[in-house]
Amino acid sequence: MCESRHPLIMKIVIVIISVFSSSDKMLPMKRVLILVVPLAWLLAACADREEPEPAEPGAEAPRVVVYTSRQPYLIEPLFARFTEETGIQVEFTSDNEASLIERLAAEGARSPADVFVTVDAGNLWFAAERGILAPLESETLREAIPAELRDPDDQWFGLSVRARSIVYHRDRVEREELSTYEDLADPRWQGRLCLRTSRKVYNQSLVAMLIHHHGEQRAEEIVSGWVANLATNPYASDTQTIEAVAAGQCDVAIVNTYYLARLVADDPNYPVAVFWANQGTTGTHVNVSGAAITRHAPRPIRARALIEWLASDAAQQEFAQRNLEFPANPAIEADPLVAAWGEFRGDETNLVVAGQRQSEAVRLMDRAGYR
């Protein structure tokens, strides 16, 4: 708010002084001061916001508070490294994204949270819609994170990329048989497809993008075709879905690739491989984990510092190595295990669409019988 008012306050002060100094009937200086001093005080207060935030009373070190839905074992090492490099302690609370969004909304201006970190652009979009995020002015982030991986109004920024593509059993499927998400609705895949439950936001975002690209009617035909081709009821997790392919319960599935990467890291001869979907059409569906400054962040400067650090080369490399996701910054290389799967073209549609059309996607999946 101060940033947007700063130029206006300066203009008002200049106009007042110039008008009074050029007036034939100059007002008493006392009246001039009555008008100018409050504006000058407000200007100074805004300027103070740009100074480093002081340590809080009773605190041993400066801190920043994070609400995150990411698993602690994935995100805590990054926070520890940020503290080591900056001296800023990171205090974080972990919970599922829905609970954290409701908590931030309920806490309002009393919230201690400075940063919200979660997975899936649909969740980030919903948080922005609930009014619990603040725009983050940062050229550092705009330069590091491609436009399609961040909110058009800069309310959130992607930090790692997850591709949701097709996986298949090496001995039961020829790569030449595979092509697109849409093709998996073809009857020749009947009894050969496995999916994760429709209740997972990852699938809701994928279907939201299908609606965006094809329209609701065609998207429903695709999802209905998936349901008709299922080998078994949808699974609770991507890992279970991949394991079903490995066990021969089905031949193909749609999953986030980092789940497969973890299994391959433990067993290089794992019988499931990745196929990059839709390379000749819309591109492989991608999504993000991302971060935002909360609307009432008590420490916005430190919050911005943390998010910018998470987009830095060092943090992006650690995301790639530790989580086996893709870096959001395209200049950073993926982990060698993941890079060995080859380059792919991702869908370049701005991910805000995944949130905007998510309620449509949920209704469509329900109509199609996708549970």
Q: Does any domain span residue 246?
A: yes
Mean pLDDT of 38-44: 41
Q: Does any domain span residue 250?
A: yes
Q: What is the pLDDT of residue 24?
A: 43
Q: How confident is the model at residue 55 (pLDDT cuts 50, 70, 90)?
A: low
Q: What is the pLDDT of residue 319?
A: 86
pLDDT in tens, 215-236: 999 999 999 999 999 999 999 9
Q: How confident is the model at residue 60 (pLDDT cuts 50, 70, 90)?
A: low
Q: Are residues 102 and 91 in the same domain?
A: yes
Q: Does any domain span residue 58?
A: no
Q: Are residues 225 and 359 in the same domain?
A: yes
Q: Are residues 287 and 200 in contact, defined by beta-carbon separation less than 8 angstroms? A: no
pLDDT in tens, 112-132: 999 999 999 999 999 999 999
Q: Does any domain span residue 56?
A: no
Tokens of residue 218, six digits: 């065609």
Mean pLDDT of 196-205: 97
Q: What is the pLDDT of residue 61?
A: 82
- Taking each helix axis from N to C end, the angle separating 201-214 and 358-367, rounded to the nearest 10 degrees, works out to 90
Q: Are residues 361 and 322 in the same domain?
A: no
Q: Are residues 230 and 363 in the same domain?
A: yes
Q: How confident is the model at residue 294 (pLDDT cuts 50, 70, 90)?
A: very high
High-pLDDT (> 90) share of the chain, %: 82
pLDDT of 17 above 80: no
Give 176 or 6, the one with higher predicted confidence.
176
Q: Are residues 371 and 224 in contact, defined by beta-carbon separation less than 8 angstroms? A: no
Beta strands in the chain (DSSP E): 63-68, 89-94, 115-119, 133-134, 157-169, 193-194, 252-256, 272-275, 285-294, 326-327
The CATH number of residue 112's host domain is 3.40.190.10
Non-local CB neighbours of 84 within 8 Å, separated by 6+ positions? none
pLDDT of 29 above 80: no
In terms of DSSP H, where are the helices of 164-256? 201-214, 216-229, 238-246
Segment holding 364, helix H or strand E: helix 358-367
**Domain around 36:** 2-48
Q: Are residues 176 and 261 in the same domain?
A: yes
Mean pLDDT of 318-341: 95
Average pLDDT of the chain to the nearest whole number: 89
Q: What is the pLDDT of residue 292?
A: 98
Q: Are residues 27 and 141 in the same domain?
A: no
Greatest mean pLDDT range, 47-61, 134-148, 311-325 = 134-148
High-pLDDT (> 70) share of the chain, %: 84
Residue 173 and residue 163: Cα distance in Å, rounded?
21
Number of domain units in the chain: 3
Q: Are residues 258 and 297 in the same domain?
A: no
The strand pairing partners of 165, in sequence order, are 255
Mean pLDDT of 109-113: 98
Q: Are residues 68 and 119 in the same domain?
A: yes
Q: Are residues 75 and 190 in the same domain?
A: no
CB atoms within 10 A of CB 3: 11
Tokens of residue 89, six digits: 């302690």
Q: Are residues 210 and 95 in the same domain?
A: no
- Worst-scoring range by mean pLDDT, 10-19, 69-78, 219-228, 279-288? 10-19
Q: Is 318 helix (H, G, I), strand (E, B) or coil?
A: helix
Q: Are residues 67 and 74 in contact, defined by beta-carbon separation less than 8 angstroms? A: no
Q: How confident is the model at residue 6 (pLDDT cuts 50, 70, 90)?
A: very low
pLDDT of 35 above 90: no
